[in-house]
């Protein structure tokens, strides 16, 4: 743990990490407050409002992130991150005063659009601050811990505050969180790599997606996104159904089950830095994703025709949390390896959008199956989907995945500056860019 915390010695990263944690806590309180606001506006129909708000959130994430990255690469990162924090604070300030459902939807779209612009830019800044692989790996694990702690702490903090204040004041906590985040970002100087070439809007908008789909390891990551979303959707969508509707247990047990999932994720995040010092990303991520599928299918088989028991549920959710984090946490390393510094924001935005496409598919699938065919069958279908996604990832992501790739440039003039040192056939760390628009065929041996 002390080695992981050593990256906090970097002042810039320390301030950004603190900004992330504070903003996450504020966002968690916003989630609780939105649920209570929806109930005030619609009573028993509140679930429909929240479901629509979540769908709006996913649509904003999928559509806005790539478009935002096309414009933000021209702007100073610090100013842009602060601006999005301030807009989000403004939205949270207005939300307690709305009295129409459509107003909730509009404000949620604005807020989540800012998040879709903020998060990839924030994520792409970290490898520029911590260029060493070991430091960046530890930063990724700390980020995973922050997300898991937010899932545990924010609802608890909100519950404690609601014993002494009205739920409207939770929005105030969200406002404070975003303002503190903005202040911490202002307090440091952030690197803003300048674009190396002028590109049109279409090229900038699709840049990250084209790099993503042209890079074999990232095509594998795309399949792994589907695997983790299938397993994660099972937990997020159906925990309350299993605990309360099937097992007839109290509401507190929903939090316990979700806490076990988050606890498993935290365990994996603590272990991963040392593991990734010795093993490749592929060696960790593919077996971890396969583990998710095995767990889902095994529990489906053991509970077929019956009911999943409380101890089995807790053990399953703990195991799924471990596998989930082991796949999710190293993904930033793949993105860092796969783009030049000025292309990283576009690539992180592509990952942000594509991963949420997977969640947009698996959220309703998990909910519909759980309601129509029962929990064991839902476990089996999502387990099968996870297994298929892992098989696709294994085929798309070559076992041999070196950073330095030998390749040729028959299309370039022999006097081109790129060929000055190595000649027309050379080797260097390979990423998709203006001179390398497709991945070279890998030769056996």
Condensed to tens digits (0 to 9), the pLDDT of residues 41-69 reads 777 666 567 667 777 888 888 888 888 77
Binned at pLDDT 50, 70 and 90, residue 291 comes out as very high
Phi, psi (rounded to 5 degrees) for 422: -105, -10
Q: What is the pLDDT of residue 247?
A: 87
Cα dist from 315 to 96, 327, 350, 405, whole Å: 39, 19, 34, 43
Condensed to tens digits (0 to 9), the pLDDT of residues 70-109 reads 776 677 888 989 999 999 999 999 988 888 888 888 988 9
Residues 6+ apart with CB under 8 A from 307: 246, 247, 375
From-to residues of CATH 1.20.1250.20 in the chain: 1-192, 205-396
Query: Rounded mean pLDDT of the chain?
Result: 85
> Alpha-carbon dihedral of residues 8, 161, 314, 51, nearest 10 degrees?
-100
Binned at pLDDT 50, 70 and 90, residue 170 comes out as confident
- Report the alpha-carbon distance of residue 2 to residue 397 in Å, rounded: 33
Q: Give the dihedral sign, CA 137/143/147/150.
A: positive
- Report the alpha-carbon distance of residue 182 to residue 185 in Å, rounded: 5
Binned at pLDDT 50, 70 and 90, residue 194 comes out as low
Q: What is the CATH number of domain 1-192?
A: 1.20.1250.20
Output the DSSP codes for 29-61.
HHHHHHHHHHHHHHGGGHHHHHHHHHHHHHHHH
Q: Return the H-helix or E-strand segment holding 363.
A: helix 344-372
pTM of the model: 0.83
Q: Tell me which of 199 and 229 has the higher pLDDT.
A: 229
**Cβ atoms 349, 69 nearer than 8 A:** yes
Condensed to tens digits (0 to 9), the pLDDT of residues 405-433 reads 888 887 788 788 888 777 778 888 888 88
Phi, psi (rounded to 5 degrees) for 408: -120, 165
Residue with tokens 């390891």: 217
Phi, psi (rounded to 5 degrees) for 55: -65, -40
Which CATH number does the domain 205-396 belong to among 3.40.50.300, 1.10.10.10, 3.20.20.70, 1.20.1250.20?
Answer: 1.20.1250.20
Condensed to tens digits (0 to 9), the pLDDT of residues 120-152 reads 888 888 888 988 888 888 888 888 777 766 666
> Which residues pair with residue 429 across a beta bridge?
404
């Amino acid at each position: 743990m002390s080695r992981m915390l050593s990256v906090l010695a970097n002042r810039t990263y320390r301030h950004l990490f603190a900004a992330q944690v504070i903003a996450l806590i504020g966002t968690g309180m916003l989630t609780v407050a939105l649920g209570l606001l929806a109930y005030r506006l619609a009573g028993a129909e509140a679930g429909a409002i929240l479901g629509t708000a979540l769908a709006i959130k996913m649509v904003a994430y999928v559509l806005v992130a790539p478009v935002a990255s096309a414009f933000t690469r021209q702007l100073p990162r610090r100013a842009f991150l602060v601006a999005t924090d301030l807009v989000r604070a403004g939205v949270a300030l207005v939300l307690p005063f709305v009295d129409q459902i459509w107003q909730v939807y509009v404000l949620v779209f604005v807020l989540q659009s800012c998040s879709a612009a903020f998060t990839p830019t924030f994520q792409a800044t970290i490898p520029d601050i911590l260029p060493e692989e070991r430091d960046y790996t530890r930063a990724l694990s700390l980020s995973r811990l922050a997300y898991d702690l937010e899932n545990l702490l924010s609802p608890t903090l909100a519950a404690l505050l609601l014993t002494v204040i009205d739920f409207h004041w939770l929005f105030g906590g969200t406002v404070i969180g975003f303002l503190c985040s903005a202040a911490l970002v202002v307090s440091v100087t952030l690197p803003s790599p300048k674009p190396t070439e002028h590109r049109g809007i279409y090229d900038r908008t699709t840049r990250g997606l084209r790099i993503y789909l042209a890079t074999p390891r990232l095509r594998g990551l795309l399949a792994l996104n589907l695997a983790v979303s299938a397993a994660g959707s099972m937990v997020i969508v159906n925990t309350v159904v299993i605990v309360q509707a099937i097992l007839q247990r109290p509401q507190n047990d929903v939090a316990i089950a979700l806490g076990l999932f988050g606890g498993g994720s935290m365990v994996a995040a603590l272990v991963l830095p040392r593991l990734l010092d010795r093993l490749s990303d592929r060696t960790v991520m593919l077996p971890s994703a396969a583990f998710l599928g095995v767990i889902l299918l095994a529990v489906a088989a053991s509970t077929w025709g019956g009911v999943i028991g409380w101890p089995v549920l807790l053990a399953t959710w703990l195991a799924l949390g471990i596998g989930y984090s082991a796949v999710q946490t190293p993904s930033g390393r793949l993105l860092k390896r796969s783009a030049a510094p000025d292309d990283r924001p576009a690539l992180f935005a592509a990952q942000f959008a594509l991963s949420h496409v997977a969640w947009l598919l698996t959220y309703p699938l998990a909910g519909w199956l759980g309601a129509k065919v029962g929990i064991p069958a839902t476990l089996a279908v999502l387990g099968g989907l996870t297994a298929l996604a892992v098989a696709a990832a294994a085929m798309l992501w070559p076992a041999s995945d070196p950073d330095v790739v030998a390749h040729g440039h028959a299309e370039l003039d022999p006097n081109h500056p790129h060929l000055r040192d190595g000649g027309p056939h050379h080797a260097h760390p390979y990423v998709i860019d203006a001179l390398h628009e497709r991945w070279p065929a890998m030769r056996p041996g």
